[in-house]
Amino acid sequence: MSIIIDKETRVIVQGITGREGTFHAQQMLQYGTKVVGGVTPGKKGENVEGLPVFDFVSEAVEATDANATMILVPAPFAPDAIYEAMEAGIQTIVCITEGLPVLAMSQVYPRVRASKSRLIGPNTMGVISPGKCKIGIMPGHIHEPGNVGIASRSGTLTYEIVQNLSRRGIGQSSAVGIGGDPIVGSGFIDILELYKEDPETDAVIIVGEIGGTDEEIAADWVQANMKKPVFGYIAGRAAPEGKRMGHAGAIISGGKGTAKDKIEAFEAHGIQVGANPEELAEKVKSTIG
């Protein structure tokens, strides 16, 4: 099995006629994802990589039976793109776009949580179930099908960790980038709950970074709920207080959210922590073989 997406998932791309939208639609098609169309207002009737383009998500859903979307539109238009997908009944909304204002996401979040849609992101690499489907911008070739699930705040670190796992013969059931912004549609616990119930996920990796307390909260949840082995990696050990590192949510403030805090929380709750991607992969290999 896998979580969130599989080989039957039918995907549209909002912003498909833009440079990034076209490129990543092509990459997803090459991976084997069932991309069935795209949406760009005012471009109805055109096609991209042989895919029909529609003006509205509702039109695309009616014509293609799409149940997932990847959003690659400029940040000012991304909240409306999320709302449009949600109102059209799309089950899985993956918002790659970065730079959404926190105020906008504070309004998006409760609406999407009250709907039947699942939002991944914004500011995410996306989600992949190796060998089945990818919705996002990750390099598909480094992933191998297997039984380790990944939930991550960082796309680049996920790629490094995945490559180290794959080189050691350890495949992944799914990998989910929850996004690096202060407010995201699906947090660590949302994804961990899915991995907990997935019979083909035997172990889980949490990839965190400085800023906020999401990792500490996830560690509490793991100790109380997860029987499968959980591993962790925290980026930003050398980050100075008050300086944003990488993602919008990666900032230490008020003496909280440091890498030390998160690593200590992980270790105190039985989560094995790797000092680097190589060590992390070795810990996974020694535990699950």
Tell me, what's the pLDDT at 254? 42
Tell me, what's the pLDDT at 256? 55
CATH 3.20.20.60 fits 10-120, yes or no: no
Name the DSSP letter for residue 232.
Answer: E
Element (H, E) at 6: none
Q: Are 37 and 12 in contact, with CB atoms under 8 Å apart? A: yes
250 — pLDDT class (breaks 50, 70, 90): very low
Share of the chain above pLDDT 70, in %: 92
Question: Which is catalytic among the residues 24, 143, 247, 269?
Answer: 247
pTM above 0.85, yes or no: yes
pLDDT per residue over 195-217, tens digit each?
Answer: 999 999 999 999 999 888 899 99
Domain segments of the chain: what residues? 10-120, 138-288
pLDDT per residue over 167-190, tens digit each?
Answer: 999 999 999 999 989 999 999 999
Three-state SS at 62: helix
Active site annotation includes 247? yes
For residue 17, report the phi and psi dihedrals to the nearest 5 degrees: -85, -10
β-strand pairing of 51-54 with 47-48 = antiparallel
For residue 6, report the phi and psi dihedrals to the nearest 5 degrees: -150, -170
Q: 138-288: which CATH architecture?
A: 3-Layer(aba) Sandwich (3.40)
In angstroms, the CA 89 to CA 217 distance is: 31
Nearest to 176 by CA among 238, 247, 119: 119
pLDDT per residue over 14-29, tens digit each?
Answer: 999 999 999 999 999 9
Average pLDDT of 80-91?
A: 98
